[in-house]
């Protein structure tokens, strides 16, 4: 069966996002290839296509199956792609966090769909195609949603049995990441699942059980990225790369023993690192560690169930700096219970950390998260910034949208409109080959910061 997996174009010309590889689609493509299907992977976003060219490609391909993926903030983009693809495809499937979170409701949102895949799709997607090929007798396979049919949860696949992503189907030279320290960019997963219980985090796809690949498997893939695809920088997409210290040490030692020159960024927790580990990571190619700091107010951290204290963040950032690594702080402003004073305290706290980069955002409870169930009646239209991908941002906050918008703009401009961050970003754009993308993002940020009041739709 001919399967076309597609990432649609940008929502519109104002979309300032940088093109990073669609890792989930590449994993599914590899699993379908292994099952004997003919597979193409079209990344219209990375190629810079408009919607007209995308539809012409679908019409020319006439795939037996069109496969799409969606996170909730960009579900409208997937819906548009499904509408365009419906006349040209035998069947249309959607996977990813959005159908996993909303389940059967996805068919009301996107009536063009024939099926949706819940959770990790490497086993469910081939099983769905086999079910269709055999006449769709009986209930659909576990992990598959079909309108009006019973649903059975699928067990998560064993990571060692999943083939590596089919990156040969992707335009690997088209991907950029502004914080990369070398040209040639890729993304990668070394583990799935997260055992923590942050109320704003959707774990519907990979679950709470942490499953990890061995250090040898991880470095085998890194070696392939460097030698086959000329990748110089990798962004690890693990929810928490540093969860198991001994495994991080094993990965670093394996990297050093093979002499790979690849550099990388990972995500960690402020209570999960120490100076010796960070120094080893630096020697093994790590250049940036991102931490979910979220807030400088302990009441907010407790509300979000971060299971950390405000006092733990400064030590983690100081150790990161002492190890010669750059740091990125994820910050949430205006969580329930916060007023102007509490938001300003977080902004000031963020400056005191000495972070190299910061991403400020408002709190948006996504379907499938505990916070969404708790805050749903109180959600209100709120501000967004150019790094937020959702079309209409529904924010959980006690602040007026205009007040939160002003605070967000003050936080972004107050942090980045200083000589050191501006110089750092300029150097990053040159080293990563992201000058065009960086300029687009800066222009979008400038329009947002000085272009008017908060969006309220």
Residues of each domain in the chain carrying CATH 3.40.50:
2-158
Binning the chain into helix, strand and coil, the percentages to the nearest 5 are 45, 15, 40
Per-residue pLDDT of the chain (457 residues; tens, 9 = 90+): 999 999 999 987 656 577 899 999 999 999 999 999 999 999 999 999 999 999 999 999 999 999 999 999 899 999 999 999 999 999 999 999 999 999 999 999 999 999 999 999 999 999 999 999 999 999 999 999 999 999 999 999 999 999 999 999 999 999 999 889 998 999 999 999 999 989 888 887 888 899 999 999 999 999 999 999 999 999 999 999 999 999 999 999 999 999 999 999 999 999 999 999 999 999 999 999 999 999 999 999 999 999 999 999 999 999 999 999 999 999 999 999 999 999 999 999 999 999 999 999 998 888 878 877 765 445 566 677 767 766 566 788 889 989 999 999 999 999 998 898 888 888 888 888 888 877 877 887 788 888 754 433 3
Angle, CA of 397, 403 and 409, to the nearest 5° = 105
pLDDT in the model for residue 396:
81
Beta-sheet pairing, 38-43 with 380-381: unpaired
CB atoms within 10 A of CB 209: 11
Both tokens of residue 271? 């209570």
Architecture of the domain made up of 176-450: Alpha-Beta Barrel (3.20)
Please report, for residues 19, 297, 329, 341, 397, the alpha-carbon distance to residue 349 in angstroms, rounded to integers and kept in the order given: 31, 9, 11, 12, 20
Q: In this predicted structure, what is the pLDDT of residue 13? A: 60
CB 253 within 8 A of CB 215: yes
Closest CA to 190 of 153, 168, 222: 222
Is 43 strand, coil or helix? strand
Question: Cβ distance 337 to 299 under 8 Å?
Answer: yes
Q: Which CATH class is domain 2-158?
A: alpha beta
pTM of the model: 0.93
Contact 234, 187 (CB under 8 A): yes
pLDDT in tens, 5-56: 999 999 876 565 778 999 999 999 999 999 999 999 999 999 999 999 999 9
Q: Retrieve residue 36's tokens.
A: 């004997």
pLDDT for res 456: 36
Contact by Cβ (8 Å): 90, 98: no
| pLDDT 10s digits, 80-133 | 999 999 999 999 999 999 999 999 999 999 999 999 999 999 999 999 999 999
CA-to-CA distance for 364 and 200, rounded, in angstroms? 8
Q: What is the model's pLDDT at position 203?
A: 81
Residue spans in the chain of domains classed CATH 3.20.20.70: 176-450
Rounded Cα gap, residues 62 and 85, in angstroms:
9
């Amino acid at each position: 069966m001919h399967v076309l997996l597609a990432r649609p174009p940008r929502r519109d010309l104002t979309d300032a996002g940088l093109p990073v590889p669609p890792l989930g689609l590449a994993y599914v493509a590899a699993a379908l290839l292994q099952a004997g299907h003919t597979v193409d992977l079209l990344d219209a976003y990375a190629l810079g296509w408009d919607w007209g060219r995308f539809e012409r490609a679908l019409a020319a391909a006439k795939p037996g199956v069109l496969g799409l993926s969606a996170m909730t903030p960009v579900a409208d983009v997937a819906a548009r792609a499904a509408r365009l693809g419906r006349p040209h495809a035998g069947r249309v499937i959607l996977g990813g966090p959005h159908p996993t979170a909303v389940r059967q409701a996805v068919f009301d949102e996107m009536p063009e769909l024939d099926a949706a895949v819940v959770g990790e799709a490497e086993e469910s997607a081939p099983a769905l195609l086999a079910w269709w090929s055999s006449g769709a007798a009986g209930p659909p396979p576990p992990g598959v949603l079909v309108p009006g049919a019973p649903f059975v949860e699928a067990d998560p696949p064993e990571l060692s049995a999943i083939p590596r992503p089919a990156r040969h189907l992707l335009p690997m030279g088209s991907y950029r990441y502004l914080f990369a320290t070398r040209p040639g960019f890729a993304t990668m997963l070394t583990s799935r699942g997260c055992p923590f219980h942050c109320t704003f985090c959707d774990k519907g796809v990979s679950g709470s059980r942490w499953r990890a690949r061995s250090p040898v498997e991880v470095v085998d893939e890194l070696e392939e990225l460097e030698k086959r695809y000329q990748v110089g920088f990798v962004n690890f997409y693990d929810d928490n790369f540093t969860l198991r210290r001994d495994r991080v040490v094993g990965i670093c030692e394996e990297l050093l023993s093979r002499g790979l020159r690849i550099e990388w960024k990972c995500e960690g927790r402020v209570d999960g690192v120490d100076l010796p580990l960070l120094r080893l990571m630096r020697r093994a190619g790590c250049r940036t560690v991102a931490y979910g700091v979220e807030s400088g107010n302990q009441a907010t951290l407790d509300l979000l169930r971060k299971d950390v204290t405000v006092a733990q963040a400064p030590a983690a950032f100081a150790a990161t700096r002492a190890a010669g690594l750059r740091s990125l702080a994820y910050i949430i402003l205006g969580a329930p219970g916060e007023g102007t004073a509490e938001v300003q305290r977080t902004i000031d706290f963020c400056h005191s950390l000495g972070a190299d980069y910061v991403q400020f955002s408002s709190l948006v409870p996504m379907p499938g998260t505990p916070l969404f169930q708790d805050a749903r009646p109180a959600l209100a239209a709120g501000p967004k910034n150019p790094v937020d991908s959702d079309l209409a941002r529904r924010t959980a906050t006690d602040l007026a949208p205009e007040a939160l918008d002003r605070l967000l703009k003050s936080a972004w401009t107050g942090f980045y409109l200083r000589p050191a961050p501006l110089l750092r970003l300029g150097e990053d754009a040159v080293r990563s080959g992201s000058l065009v993308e960086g300029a687009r993002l800066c222009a979008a940020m400038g329009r947002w910061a000085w272009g008017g009041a908060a969006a309220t739709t």
